[in-house]
Protein backbone atom coordinates (compact mmCIF):
# COMPACT_ATOMS: atom_id res chain seq x y z
CA UNK A 1 0.00 0.00 0.00
CA UNK A 2 1.19 3.59 -0.75
CA UNK A 3 2.43 5.18 2.49
CA UNK A 4 2.65 8.75 1.05
CA UNK A 5 1.80 11.15 3.96
CA UNK A 6 -0.19 13.32 1.58
CA UNK A 7 -2.39 10.39 0.72
CA UNK A 8 -3.06 9.62 4.38
CA UNK A 9 -4.01 13.26 5.07
CA UNK A 10 -6.54 13.45 2.22
CA UNK A 11 -9.93 12.20 3.49
CA UNK A 12 -11.17 11.28 0.00
CA UNK A 13 -8.11 9.12 -0.71
CA UNK A 14 -8.43 7.63 2.73
CA UNK A 15 -12.04 6.66 2.01
CA UNK A 16 -10.98 5.06 -1.27
CA UNK A 17 -8.33 3.08 0.59
CA UNK A 18 -11.06 1.63 2.83
CA UNK A 19 -12.61 0.13 -0.32
CA UNK A 20 -16.08 0.69 1.08
CA UNK A 21 -18.07 2.48 -1.59
CA UNK A 22 -21.21 2.78 0.55
CA UNK A 23 -19.15 4.18 3.44
CA UNK A 24 -17.72 6.81 1.11
CA UNK A 25 -21.21 7.92 0.08
CA UNK A 26 -22.31 8.16 3.70
CA UNK A 27 -19.26 10.12 4.85
CA UNK A 28 -19.18 12.72 2.08
CA UNK A 29 -22.01 14.84 3.62
CA UNK A 30 -20.44 14.43 7.03
CA UNK A 31 -17.07 15.73 5.85
CA UNK A 32 -18.76 18.66 4.12
CA UNK A 33 -20.57 19.55 7.33
CA UNK A 34 -17.32 19.32 9.26
CA UNK A 35 -15.58 21.69 6.87
CA UNK A 36 -18.40 24.19 7.40
CA UNK A 37 -17.92 23.97 11.17
CA UNK A 38 -21.31 22.39 11.80
CA UNK A 39 -22.00 19.61 14.24
CA UNK A 40 -21.93 16.19 12.66
CA UNK A 41 -24.55 13.78 13.92
CA UNK A 42 -23.82 10.10 14.20
CA UNK A 43 -26.16 7.62 12.54
CA UNK A 44 -29.50 7.09 14.22
CA UNK A 45 -29.23 5.49 17.63
CA UNK A 46 -26.37 7.69 18.86
CA UNK A 47 -27.06 10.31 21.53
CA UNK A 48 -23.89 12.26 20.85
CA UNK A 49 -22.78 14.56 18.07
CA UNK A 50 -19.25 14.74 16.75
CA UNK A 51 -17.73 18.19 16.32
CA UNK A 52 -14.42 18.92 14.70
CA UNK A 53 -11.58 19.56 17.13
CA UNK A 54 -11.04 23.03 15.67
CA UNK A 55 -14.13 25.04 14.61
CA UNK A 56 -13.65 28.02 12.36
CA UNK A 57 -15.19 31.37 13.11
CA UNK A 58 -18.47 32.01 11.29
CA UNK A 59 -16.89 34.28 8.67
CA UNK A 60 -13.57 32.46 8.41
CA UNK A 61 -12.73 30.42 5.41
CA UNK A 62 -13.14 26.67 5.79
CA UNK A 63 -9.84 24.99 6.64
CA UNK A 64 -7.99 23.30 3.86
CA UNK A 65 -8.20 19.55 3.73
CA UNK A 66 -4.40 19.57 3.89
CA UNK A 67 -4.26 21.74 7.03
CA UNK A 68 -2.83 20.24 10.24
CA UNK A 69 -6.25 20.28 11.93
CA UNK A 70 -7.77 18.30 9.07
CA UNK A 71 -4.83 15.95 8.83
CA UNK A 72 -5.03 15.11 12.52
CA UNK A 73 -8.79 14.96 12.83
CA UNK A 74 -10.21 13.30 9.72
CA UNK A 75 -8.63 9.87 10.22
CA UNK A 76 -10.16 9.59 13.71
CA UNK A 77 -13.50 10.85 12.37
CA UNK A 78 -13.45 8.21 9.67
CA UNK A 79 -12.60 5.51 12.22
CA UNK A 80 -15.35 6.63 14.60
CA UNK A 81 -18.01 6.82 11.89
CA UNK A 82 -16.93 3.51 10.36
CA UNK A 83 -17.14 1.83 13.74
CA UNK A 84 -20.56 3.30 14.41
CA UNK A 85 -21.87 2.22 11.00
CA UNK A 86 -20.45 -1.26 11.61
CA UNK A 87 -22.33 -1.49 14.89
CA UNK A 88 -25.64 -0.06 13.71
CA UNK A 89 -25.93 -1.76 10.31
CA UNK A 90 -24.61 -5.29 11.02
CA UNK A 91 -27.48 -7.76 10.64
CA UNK A 92 -28.29 -9.88 13.67
CA UNK A 93 -27.62 -13.60 13.62
CA UNK A 94 -30.67 -15.75 12.89
CA UNK A 95 -32.12 -17.76 15.74
CA UNK A 96 -30.78 -21.30 16.01
CA UNK A 97 -34.31 -22.68 15.91
CA UNK A 98 -34.07 -26.41 16.58
CA UNK A 99 -30.62 -27.12 18.07
CA UNK A 100 -31.20 -30.87 17.90
CA UNK A 101 -30.73 -30.62 14.13
CA UNK A 102 -27.12 -29.54 14.64
CA UNK A 103 -26.19 -31.74 17.62
CA UNK A 104 -25.12 -35.39 17.40
CA UNK A 105 -27.99 -37.78 17.97
CA UNK A 106 -27.79 -39.65 21.27
CA UNK A 107 -27.01 -43.35 20.99
CA UNK A 108 -30.31 -45.15 21.82
CA UNK A 109 -28.37 -48.19 23.08
CA UNK A 110 -26.62 -46.02 25.67
CA UNK A 111 -29.86 -45.94 27.70
CA UNK A 112 -30.46 -49.71 27.57
CA UNK A 113 -29.67 -51.91 30.57
CA UNK A 114 -30.56 -55.45 31.54
CA UNK A 115 -31.90 -56.79 34.83
CA UNK A 116 -31.81 -60.57 35.26
CA UNK A 117 -34.18 -61.69 38.01
CA UNK A 118 -33.13 -65.19 39.04
CA UNK A 119 -36.25 -65.88 41.09
CA UNK A 120 -38.41 -65.12 38.06
CA UNK A 121 -36.01 -66.77 35.60
CA UNK A 122 -36.50 -63.82 33.33
CA UNK A 123 -34.32 -61.04 31.91
CA UNK A 124 -35.81 -57.54 31.60
CA UNK A 125 -34.66 -55.01 29.02
CA UNK A 126 -34.94 -51.46 30.35
CA UNK A 127 -34.86 -48.26 28.35
CA UNK A 128 -33.96 -45.76 31.09
CA UNK A 129 -36.51 -46.64 33.79
CA UNK A 130 -39.11 -48.22 31.53
CA UNK A 131 -39.34 -51.94 30.75
CA UNK A 132 -39.03 -52.34 27.00
CA UNK A 133 -39.44 -56.12 26.87
CA UNK A 134 -38.47 -59.30 28.72
CA UNK A 135 -37.51 -62.89 27.91
CA UNK A 136 -37.69 -66.21 29.79
CA UNK A 137 -34.32 -67.78 30.63
CA UNK A 138 -32.69 -70.82 32.20
CA UNK A 139 -30.25 -70.11 35.02
CA UNK A 140 -27.47 -71.97 36.85
CA UNK A 141 -28.47 -75.11 38.72
CA UNK A 142 -27.57 -75.87 42.34
CA UNK A 143 -23.83 -75.74 42.84
CA UNK A 144 -23.44 -73.73 39.62
CA UNK A 145 -25.57 -70.73 40.48
CA UNK A 146 -25.50 -67.69 38.24
CA UNK A 147 -23.58 -65.01 40.20
CA UNK A 148 -25.46 -61.94 41.37
CA UNK A 149 -24.08 -58.42 41.06
CA UNK A 150 -23.61 -55.57 38.60
CA UNK A 151 -21.72 -56.27 35.39
CA UNK A 152 -21.62 -55.16 31.78
CA UNK A 153 -21.54 -56.82 28.38
CA UNK A 154 -17.93 -57.73 27.58
CA UNK A 155 -18.33 -60.13 24.63
CA UNK A 156 -20.70 -60.47 21.67
CA UNK A 157 -20.46 -63.22 19.05
CA UNK A 158 -22.54 -64.43 16.14
CA UNK A 159 -22.64 -68.22 15.75
CA UNK A 160 -20.14 -68.84 18.56
CA UNK A 161 -17.81 -71.81 18.94
CA UNK A 162 -18.29 -73.62 22.25
CA UNK A 163 -15.41 -75.10 24.21
CA UNK A 164 -16.19 -77.88 26.68
CA UNK A 165 -15.16 -76.56 30.14
CA UNK A 166 -13.69 -79.90 31.24
CA UNK A 167 -12.31 -81.60 28.13
CA UNK A 168 -11.45 -78.54 26.05
CA UNK A 169 -13.29 -80.00 23.07
CA UNK A 170 -14.39 -77.38 20.51
CA UNK A 171 -17.88 -77.56 19.05
CA UNK A 172 -18.35 -75.51 15.85
CA UNK A 173 -21.44 -73.41 15.09
CA UNK A 174 -24.50 -75.45 14.17
CA UNK A 175 -27.72 -76.92 15.45
CA UNK A 176 -25.92 -78.97 18.12
CA UNK A 177 -23.83 -76.12 19.51
CA UNK A 178 -24.74 -75.63 23.22
CA UNK A 179 -24.45 -71.85 22.79
CA UNK A 180 -27.03 -71.68 20.04
CA UNK A 181 -26.79 -68.81 17.54
CA UNK A 182 -25.61 -65.91 19.74
CA UNK A 183 -23.34 -65.28 22.73
CA UNK A 184 -23.48 -62.22 25.03
CA UNK A 185 -20.83 -62.54 27.76
CA UNK A 186 -21.02 -60.40 30.92
CA UNK A 187 -18.96 -62.18 33.64
CA UNK A 188 -15.51 -63.77 33.85
CA UNK A 189 -13.02 -64.87 36.47
CA UNK A 190 -10.24 -64.64 33.90
CA UNK A 191 -10.66 -68.25 32.77
CA UNK A 192 -14.37 -69.05 32.65
CA UNK A 193 -17.16 -66.94 31.22
CA UNK A 194 -20.87 -66.54 31.86
CA UNK A 195 -23.34 -64.92 29.52
CA UNK A 196 -26.63 -65.06 27.69
CA UNK A 197 -26.79 -67.52 24.82
CA UNK A 198 -29.14 -69.61 22.74
CA UNK A 199 -29.61 -73.30 23.21
CA UNK A 200 -30.59 -76.42 21.24
CA UNK A 201 -32.39 -77.61 24.41
CA UNK A 202 -35.42 -75.35 24.33
CA UNK A 203 -37.15 -77.39 27.04
CA UNK A 204 -34.58 -76.25 29.62
CA UNK A 205 -35.59 -72.58 29.37
CA UNK A 206 -37.40 -71.49 32.52
CA UNK A 207 -35.51 -73.88 34.78
CA UNK A 208 -32.24 -73.94 36.77
CA UNK A 209 -30.37 -76.08 34.28
CA UNK A 210 -27.01 -74.57 33.30
CA UNK A 211 -23.48 -74.33 34.67
CA UNK A 212 -24.08 -70.66 35.48
CA UNK A 213 -24.88 -69.29 32.03
CA UNK A 214 -28.23 -67.83 31.03
CA UNK A 215 -29.91 -69.89 28.33
CA UNK A 216 -32.50 -68.38 26.03
CA UNK A 217 -34.61 -69.45 23.09
CA UNK A 218 -32.60 -68.87 19.92
CA UNK A 219 -35.18 -66.44 18.52
CA UNK A 220 -35.10 -64.47 21.79
CA UNK A 221 -31.31 -64.23 22.08
CA UNK A 222 -31.18 -62.90 18.51
CA UNK A 223 -33.54 -60.09 19.54
CA UNK A 224 -31.58 -59.38 22.72
CA UNK A 225 -28.31 -59.35 20.77
CA UNK A 226 -29.63 -56.51 18.61
CA UNK A 227 -30.64 -54.46 21.66
CA UNK A 228 -27.30 -54.39 23.46
CA UNK A 229 -23.68 -53.49 22.82
CA UNK A 230 -20.33 -53.82 24.51
CA UNK A 231 -20.63 -51.93 27.78
CA UNK A 232 -24.39 -52.35 28.25
CA UNK A 233 -25.01 -52.66 32.02
CA UNK A 234 -26.21 -56.04 33.31
CA UNK A 235 -27.57 -56.44 36.83
CA UNK A 236 -28.25 -59.90 38.24
CA UNK A 237 -30.54 -59.96 41.26
CA UNK A 238 -31.87 -62.90 43.33
- Residue 197 is a catalytic residue: yes
Element (H, E) at 227: helix 218-227
pLDDT in tens, 197-206: 999 999 999 9
Q: Is the dihedral of CA 9, 10, 14, 15 positive or negative?
A: positive
Domain 111-237 in this protein, CATH class: mainly beta
pLDDT in tens, 103-117: 776 666 678 999 999
pLDDT in tens, 134-149: 999 999 999 999 999 9
Which residue of the set 22, 158, 164, 197 is catalytic? Answer: 197
Q: What 3-state class would DSSP assign to 121?
A: coil
Query: What is d(CA 118, CA 68) in angstroms, rounded to the nearest whole number?
Result: 95
Asked whether the beta carbons of 232 and 153 are under 8 A apart, the reply is yes
Which residue of the set 98, 158, 164, 213 is catalytic? Answer: 213
- Residue 164 is a catalytic residue: no
What is the number of residues in the chain? 238
Query: What is d(CA 121, CA 137) in angstroms, rounded to the nearest whole number?
Result: 5
Domain range list for the chain: 5-89, 111-237
Q: Model-level pTM?
A: 0.56
Amino acid sequence: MNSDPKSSSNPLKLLRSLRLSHLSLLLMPLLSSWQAGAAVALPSGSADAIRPSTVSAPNAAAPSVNSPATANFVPQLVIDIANQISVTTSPGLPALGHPEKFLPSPDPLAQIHLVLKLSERRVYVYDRDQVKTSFPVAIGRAGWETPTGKYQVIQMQHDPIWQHPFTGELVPPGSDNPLGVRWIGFWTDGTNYIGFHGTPNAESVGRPASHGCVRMYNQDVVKLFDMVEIGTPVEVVP
